[in-house]
A and B are shown apart, each in its own frame.
Chain A
Amino acid sequence: GAVVSQHPSWVICKSGTSVKIECRSLDFQATTMFWYRQFPKQSLMLMATSNEGSKATYEQGVEKDKFLINHASLTLSTLTVTSAHPEDSSFYICSARARGAGELFFGEGSRLTVL
């Protein structure tokens, strides 16, 4: 299947700092990318949908000014957690869909720990 890569795999930061997570589709062009968040022992919660070249669509309850999403190219989307706090500590996962394809492919996830 298609490959989606996330970087970094894990990151530890101090409270108040901002963290950027990258999501890349390595062997296909991703017209749409999705960002999920997963807390321990819970299911994945969709945060936002990002289409290349346009603003992201955020799910209800997700602060767009806190979780900045950029999808500037067909192979890269970034999620920036601004002014991170301990409650933002979570497993962040992206997924991507190729043009005209049905299934979504997921990245390996990025574990964020805010101290």
Chain B
Amino acid sequence: DAKTTQPTSMDCAEGRAANLPCNHSTISGNEYVYWYRQIHSQGPQYIIHGLKNNETNEMASLIITEDRKSSTLILPHATLRDTAVYYCIVRVATAAGNKLTFGGGTRVLVKP
């Protein structure tokens, strides 16, 4: 699976949009971009995933560049409960394996 690069940490203000970047310049054509987050001492929580098109769900929006070498996760209105480590992962969604390899992630601190 392709490697991803994320900033180590970032702060954002409560109520404002949080934009989390992720670089995946070696992504291949059949690899999806997945985002998970991990709140302290809990298991990771699935947020969103996409292949080429931008995606939106009740939690967040995922913007993938046209060349697919980078993406941005957008939390539209950050709350204090969004404080967590956010992981950007690229992987092939095949029937076999399907394992997720976690990088360092971005530690997001939402401040009042």
Name A residues whose Cβ lies closer than 8 Å to a Cβ of B: 1, 4, 6, 32, 34, 36, 43-46, 49, 91, 93, 95, 97, 100, 102-109, 111
Contact = CB atoms under 8 A, between A and B. Distances in A.
A102 B93 contact: yes
Interface in B19-67: 32, 34, 36, 38, 41-46, 49
B46 A43 contact: no
Interface residues of B, number: 23
A104 B49 CA distance: 11
A103 B34 contact: yes
Nearest to A1: B46
B81 interface: no
Contacts, number: 54
B42 A43 contact: no
B100 A34 contact: yes
B99 A46 contact: yes
Given A102-B93, A103-B34, A106-B43, A95 B100 contact: yes
Contacts of A108: 42-43
B99 to A, nearest CB: 6
A38 to B, nearest CB: 9
